[in-house]
Structure 1
Amino acid sequence: MKTLLSDGPSAHHPTEIEQFGRLAGQWTTRITYHPADGSPSRTISGEWEFGYALEGRAVLDVWRWPGREDVPATGRTPDQECGLCVRIWDPRLQLWRFTFHGTARGDLLHMFARRIGDEIVMERAAGSDLVRWTFGDITADTFHWRNQRSSDGGRTWRLDQEVHARRLKSH
């Protein structure tokens, strides 16, 4: 897969590529789900790996839950996911085109992403709702990701899911 994977960012748009590229490496995650019905939150482990791709013009990531340490000896749990994200900077639009492929449930999501202050925000419409995925509090060794939903056109947001990540290994 030498053509797919890349050692670093392209010289084209390096500042933009580094928005996600700084996450290159392996991360361990704690994923918390906040049910909309008010039932108790649940937390599981996970893993997230980021890397440069397509001659350094894209950033791929693979995320999975539960993490390998929480998968039973049978190798499967009834509730798990392994997904692939493809992020490509579009210089004409000055934003990221983002696609998520979830293998467990057949999810396919398309979003646009942009930097807002110190955060990277991905957005899409989901029926009459707006969905926002945000990377924030990014340091060299940690980040916080949150999945929020708005049913009132973005006036208020409900937290559906959040991820606290800790770096295991750099790219």
Structure 2
Amino acid sequence: MTGLARLLHADGPNPEHAAALQLYGRFVGDWDAEITAHGADGTEHTAPGEIRFGWVLEGRAVQDVWIIPRPADGPAFPVAGNWYGTTLRIYDPTISAWRISWFDPGRCVFRQQIGRPRGEDIVQEGTTEAGDLTRWSFTEITTDSFHWLGEVKPAAEADWRLVVDVRARRRKG
């Protein structure tokens, strides 16, 4: 490992906040995923994907890459589009929560959220540029699996709408 990758990568959590860092640190590793996009009209589309989590920035953050690849020369994944983006999750002890930044340059989607534990789950909340509320949740978390829900609540609507759900399984070996 050389250059930027060597400086970015960390071997584990920084000892200063090691316990708090495990909220997302427990996901470090490689995951296979089944992604289901939910259209506003009730349609569902499912595709395979992958997720990679790792320690970065002297172990003070967790970074992950989420990928929904489309087949070569195939159409884009309906509703959610194809993902090739990264999340930087940084624990902020001044608010006892995580500052979350998602970047997907291929779709020009950029999100800022605050993540916290909620019971056994992790809930991240934020607002889009258009003023819609976002809620991304990790639920049903085990050592080898999790369920991720991506929801939106447009400013003019009363209810949350599920847009994407992901069932992830840790890769073996």
Q: CA deviation at 1:105?
A: 1.3
Deviation string, structure 1 residues 14-71 (Cα, Å, up to 9, x no partner): 1111000000000000000111122x200001000000111110000001012xxx63
Name the counterpart of 1:9: 13
- Give the distance between the partners of 2:152 and 2:98, measured in 1 at CA: 20
Identity over the aligned pairs, expressed in percent? 39
Cα distance in 1 for residues equivalent to 2:165 and 2:56: 26
Shift of 1:152: 6.4
Q: How does 1:4-153 map to 2 (within 5 A)?
A: 4-38=8-42, 40-66=43-69, 71-72=71-72, 77-79=74-76, 80-126=82-128, 127-151=130-154
Structure 2 stretches lacking a partner, 5+ long: 77-81
Paired AA for residue 169 in structure 2:
R
TM-score normalised by structure 2 residue count = 0.87
Could you report, residue by residue, the CA deviation over 1:88-133 in whole angstroms, capped at 9, with x for unpaired residues? 0011011111111102112211111111111111111233421100
Which contiguous aligned blocks of 4+ residues in structure 1 show a shift greater than 4 angstroms?
A: 152-155
Contact preservation (8 Å) 1:130, 1:153 = no
Is the Cα contact below 8 Å between 1:25 and 1:169 reproduced in 2?
Answer: no
| 1:117 partner letter | G
* Aligned-pair Cα RMSD in Å: 1.9
Asked whether the equivalents of residues 136 and 143 of structure 1 are also in contact (C-alpha less than 8 Å), the reply is yes
Structure 2 CA distance for partners of 1:152 and 1:93, relative to 1, 3 Å: same
Q: How far apart, in 2, do the equivalents of 1:18 and 1:49 lie?
A: 16
For structure 1, list consecutive stretches of 5 or more residues without a partner in the other structure: none
CA separation of 1:154 and 1:103: change in aligned 2, threshold 3 A: same
Q: Is the 8 A contact 1:81 1:103 kept in 2?
A: no
* 2:9 counterpart letter in structure 1: L
TM-score scaled by length of structure 1: 0.88
Amino acid at match of 1:61: D
Distance in 2 separating the partners of 1:169 and 1:54? 26
CA distance in 1, matches of 2:110, 2:99: 13
Question: Given the superposition, is the C-alpha separation of residues 55 and 136 from structure 1 closer, same or farther in structure 2, using an over 3 Å criterion?
Answer: same
Provide the rounded CA distance (Å) in 1 between the counterparts of 2:106 and 2:155. 30
